A = this chain, B = another copy of it.
């Protein structure tokens, strides 16, 4: 079993989603981030490490501090994946119609 490092793994954890919500607004250090949670700094740092490996965050070093900020391109991947299904709850049946046509031709 190989370790998955993609955006879907990144957002699977609620703490990481909260981190994403924070650094979407402004770049933050691990210490700053940790102060927003009840868990330890090390635990937050491990979540940040996962986010970095998933390429969801960009980092910028400033002295002994490291500022992490959201890389929005990865979020776009979720949106692109979701696009296939969006027609199923919206009123735009353009994609759904294609699927239904396929089903009609399959039925003998």
Report which A residues bind B (CB closer than 8 A). 4, 8-9, 11-14, 17, 20-21, 24-26, 70, 72-73, 75-76, 78-79, 81-82, 84-86, 88-89, 99-100, 102-104
- Would you call A103 and B72 a contact (CB within 8 A)? no
- Would you call B8 and A11 a contact (CB within 8 A)? yes
Q: Which among B25, B79, B88, B100 is the interface contact of A104 at CB below 8 angstroms?
A: B25
> In whole angstroms, how far apart are the Cα atoms of A25 and B79 in the complex?
19
Q: A72-B88, A89-B76 are in contact. Are A25 and B100 (CB under 8 A)?
A: yes
- Would you call A78 and B82 a contact (CB within 8 A)? yes
A103 to chain B, nearest CB (A): 6
Q: Which among B12, B81, B84, B89 is the interface contact of A73 at CB below 8 angstroms?
A: B89
